[in-house]
């Protein structure tokens, strides 16, 4: 799973019938420090996320799992909304 910030949504009038009724979001992957990390992508939303929220997403076949038994043609999917995360800023060897 990876962290991302939702920076937009996608409106599509003609799409695969298995995507009807599903929301598509534009994601900016982020690192543990919250800074942009990588290229933007479009993901199908299984968590009800909105623009401005931090989410975690999966890539590959797992992106369609929340919609089973429907076979959603997606290679990225939002599977959760992040409330908070902590990162240790300094690693100390003991």
Query: What is the reported pTM?
Result: 0.88
Domains in the chain, please, with CATH? 2-81 (2.40.50.220)
CB 56 within 8 A of CB 3: yes
Which of 88, 84, 91 minimizes the C-alpha distance to 3? Answer: 84
Using the predicted structure, report yes or no on whether residue 94 has a pLDDT greater than 60.
no
State the pLDDT at residue 90.
Answer: 67
Dist CA 55 CA 45 (whole Å): 10
Averaged confidence pLDDT in the chain: 92
Q: What is the pLDDT of residues 27-50, one digit of tens each?
A: 999 998 899 999 999 999 999 999
**pLDDT over 70 for what percent of the chain?**
95
State the pLDDT at residue 88.
Answer: 78
State the pLDDT at residue 87.
Answer: 83
- The dihedral built from the CA positions of residue 5, 86, 83 and 62, taken in this order, carries a sign that is positive
Neighbours of 8 (CB within 10 A): 13
């Amino acid at each position: 799973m990876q962290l991302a910030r939702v920076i937009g949504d996608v409106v599509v009038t003609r799409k695969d019938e298995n995507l009807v009724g599903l929301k598509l979001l534009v994601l900016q992957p982020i690192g543990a420090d919250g800074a942009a990390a990588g290229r933007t992508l479009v993901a199908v939303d299984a968590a009800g996320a909105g623009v401005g929220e931090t989410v975690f997403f999966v890539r590959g076949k797992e992106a369609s799992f929340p919609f089973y038994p429907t076979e959603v043609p997606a290679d990225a999917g939002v599977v959760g909304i992040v409330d908070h995360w902590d990162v240790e800023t300094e690693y100390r060897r003991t």
